[in-house]
Amino acid sequence: MKRNKKWFRATLLAALCGTIYAFQVFQNAPVTITLEEAIAKKMVTCRFTSTGNYSGESVSVSVTNLTGNPLTLTIPNGTVFKPSEDEDQDLIIVEQQAIALKAKATGNQVLDGYCMEANDHSPTTDNGMKLSKTTNSKLIELAAFVDKKGYDSYMIQDAVWAVSDGNPISNIGSDTEQGKALRTFLAKLTNREDPWYATKQERVLTAERLIENNPISVNGKIRVESDGNMKIHEVVQKVGGEVKNTSPEMAFSRKGIVNYEFTLTVKGWEKGDYEVRVMNGEKLVQVFPFRI
């Protein structure tokens, strides 16, 4: 009988110890949760400020874990950070990001956010921000498309503006398969044509914190049909206006469809509508319109 009592006590003690250990393991188990949900559940305290950038590394986050568990805080694509000044640009998270925190620890991290209001002011450094979500379904679709595909920040920003502000799809280069895929997606998403050309831009932030996109060059594929005895040149002119450039003559002795690369420097040109007029002597072969 005494032996049974000892065995019972030993078994009970082992079970109790196991329960306590399991409870402690559970208590200290890592938790993955969205940043928004963690804030709502008072698991963390946060402060969001602008780095002064409107694209890429633009949102500074200081966050304290109030729990006894390690936390992984996810910031899903479609999350928006709104600055305290109404005239400043809202910044959208396009690629999901995460912040890892030890129990009871404070961490600081800079997130990649992208301007979704091209005509507003770039946020000032240390400007306070608050967490929100976009209601623009097309921006959400864009974010889902580019997430984890390795697009550079310059290309992502142009894609966001193509959706949020209707900026030209041609601002995105078409010289890579990645760029071509993004342009095709944007054309379908925004119900626009994917133009034949791409416009290289130079971005300038003015003293008033406004963003200027200044065209530098235009390039694309010219496609014409040759009769086997064609000598062509290009005349570039502003629509209804002056001739801006005339190319040297090119001979095509092969009959059929001919493709060749068109490149033109347009830095300093007035913005507006232009056209490439492909000429065979004095005869107009084809017109290729473009806008800068």
Q: 109-163 pLDDT, tens per residue?
A: 999 999 999 999 999 998 899 999 999 999 999 999 998 899 999 999 999 999 9
Q: Which of 20-34, 149-163, 269-283 has the lowest mean pLDDT?
A: 20-34
- Are the C-beta atoms of 172 and 183 separated by less than 8 Å? yes
pLDDT average, residue stretch 175-200: 97
> Shortest CA distance to 257 belongs to which of 222, 233, 231?
222
The first and second tokens of residue 135, run together, are 């209601």
- Are the C-beta atoms of 164 and 140 separated by less than 8 Å? no
Query: DSSP string of 110-139?
Result: EEEEEES-TTSBPPPTT-EEEEEE---HHH
Q: Are strands 31-34 and 71-75 parallel, antiparallel or unpaired?
A: parallel
Residue 105: CB atoms within 10 A of its CB come to: 12
pLDDT at 279 over 50: yes
Domain boundaries, the chain: 31-195, 214-291
pLDDT at 27 over 90: no
How is domain 214-291 classified at the CATH fold level?
Answer: Immunoglobulin-like (2.60.40)
> Shortest CA distance to 176 belongs to which of 195, 143, 151?
151
DSSP, collapsed to helix, strand or coil, labels residue 248 as coil
Amino acid identity, residue 7? W
188/279 Cα distance (integer angstroms) = 33
Choose between 15 and 34: higher pLDDT: 34
β-partners of residue 33 are 73
pLDDT average, residue stretch 219-245: 93
Q: What is the pLDDT of residue 19?
A: 46
What is the CB-side half-sphere exposure of residue 85 using CA atoms within 13 A? 14
Q: What is the pLDDT of residue 9?
A: 56
Q: What is the pLDDT of residue 253?
A: 84
The band of 28, judged by pLDDT with boundaries at 50, 70 and 90, is: confident
DSSP, collapsed to helix, strand or coil, labels residue 79 as strand
Query: φ and ψ at 209, to 5 degrees?
Result: 65, 30
Q: What is the pLDDT of residue 7?
A: 56
The first and second tokens of residue 43, run together, are 């698991």
82/105 Cα distance (integer angstroms) = 26
